[in-house]
Copies of this chain bind each other. A is one copy, B any other.
Amino acid sequence: MAEALRVGIAGLGTVGASVARVLRDKAAELTRQCGREIVVTAVSARDRSRDRGVDLSGAKWFDDPIELAEKADIDVFVELIGGDEGAARSCVSAALAAGRHVVTANKALLAKHGVALAEVAEKKGVLLNYEAAVAGGIPVIKTMREAMAGNSVNRVFGILNGTCNYILTRMEAEGLTFEACLKDAQRLGYAEADPTFDIEGNDTAHKLAILTSLAFGTRIASDDIYLEGISNITQADIRAAGELGYRIKLLGVAQRTESGIEQRVHPTMVPTASVIAQVHGVTNAVAIETDILGELLLSGPGAGGNATASAVVGDIADIAKSRPGFQHGPVFGRPAKELRPYKKAQMRSHAGGYFIRLTVHDRTGVFAAIAKRMADNDISLESIVQHANGSDGVSEKTVILVTHETTEAAVRKAVDGVTKDGHLTDKPQVIRIERAG
């Protein structure tokens, strides 16, 4: 049998401790699958005294993860610290520079420095694996990087943040407000104390940026992504969506269009009967549409120590099965040097259907005025629902419009027009509709 693969783990938190545990508990099975042992020979975290729930006495402790990356007796460096700068970036760079394979779950790091790191890895002839960085346990990186060789992607989209999906699922199932569901998510550990990063879509954007690069062979540019979070989604939206045959999901979408590549994160109406609409709670899902294969959908746990560790262990096992002299496929599917800057499609040229919910004064002429604004902007309507609002005395109405395919620019102009007409009693709500199978 070949020599054991020596692994160093930096970061022993939720994911790192799970990885150490799985490598130990499944040692025999992994040896059988990989044809060699996988042994954790070095570890690093901040607090040496903390109990990690797994016996690490066989591994050498390093206070400094950079020292571990450079000097420990390891073949693979596993980074599970997190963050796009600081310790994580330094130690991953150090490991690659030292010619060590790297496995990481760090989407923030890859979204910011992925291409530069990939260039180093490819120059050094080592692997940089990051299955866990996007959609946790779902093997979307392997699928796009390996299984879809030769395919041209038209669109990739998905539910990439469990916190948001949990909140939207509970809002719909129980009729609760966004705020109440967020509190519960925090109580249950599904949302951070500062949830902004999740609920405003930044986390989704990091993952989408990585998928975009794999899909289109472009350089990663997560700052260019159009962002809209879920904090302004109300029960009125969710109920109206249901009545119209839709469900609201926070999607990340990257799409090839005539005017460039669209990258956007926003609440989205998907048909209730679509597969992705049945993806509930903290579960994630990714759909990929290509010219040869067609449409593929993967769903599964997007986070959690074990599910994420499963992806990290899969990445380590792939390295264990490889041997010196093996020349690897490129980190982002194409050589990092050849990843192109992408032509960004402007959000205003986005084409699609729209859901528009307007709260208006209940008086003559309002509906005609709205209809005129739509017609003036060449927006044709698929359906119109209007109903009187609530209790007596309030002369207010809700008007819900679903448009046929139109553009973001047209919708913005029309809604601005309606707003200027002075008929609205509340902020207009606009939610994009996404085709989904």
A residues touching B (Cβ–Cβ < 8 Å)? 2, 22-23, 26, 29-30, 32-35, 131, 137-139, 142-143, 146-152, 217, 273-275, 277-279, 290, 292-301, 304, 306-307, 309-311, 313-314, 316-318, 321-323, 325-330, 333-335, 338
Contact = CB atoms under 8 A, between A and B. Distances in A.
A53 B334 CA distance: 29
A327 B321 contact: yes
Contact of A275 (B279, B309, B338): B279
- The 5 tightest CB contacts between A and B, nearest first, are A149-B317, A139-B147, A296-B300, A293-B310, A26-B150
Contacts of A333: 33
Given A2-B327, A296-B300, 14 more contacts: A32-B335, A33-B149, A35-B327, A35-B329, A138-B296, A142-B143, A143-B143, A149-B314, A290-B310, A294-B300, A294-B304, A296-B301, A298-B298, A326-B326
Counting every copy of the chain, the complex holds 2
A146 B327 contact: no
Contact of A328 (B29, B32, B321): B321
B149 A30 contact: yes
A293 B299 contact: no
A33 B329 contact: yes
Nearest to A338: B32
B299 A275 contact: yes
A138 B147 CA distance: 9
A215 to B, nearest CB: 13
6 contacts: A23-B150, A32-B338, A149-B314, A278-B278, A294-B300, A325-B325
Nearest to A321: B329
Contacts of A217: 32
A273 B173 CA distance: 13
Contact of A293 (B143, B275, B306, B334): B306
A68 to B, nearest CB: 23
A300 B290 CA distance: 11
Given A297-B298, A298-B297, A34 B310 contact: no
A112 B349 CA distance: 55
A137 B295 CA distance: 9
A295 B306 contact: no
B295 A300 contact: yes
- Most B CB contacts (10 A, CB to CB) among A26, A292, A296 go to A292
Nearest to A279: B275
Contacts of A35: 327, 329-330, 335
A33 B336 CA distance: 11
A148 B23 CA distance: 13
Contacts of A151: 26, 310
A151 B314 CA distance: 9
A147 B34 contact: no
Contacts of A294: 137, 300-301, 304, 306-307
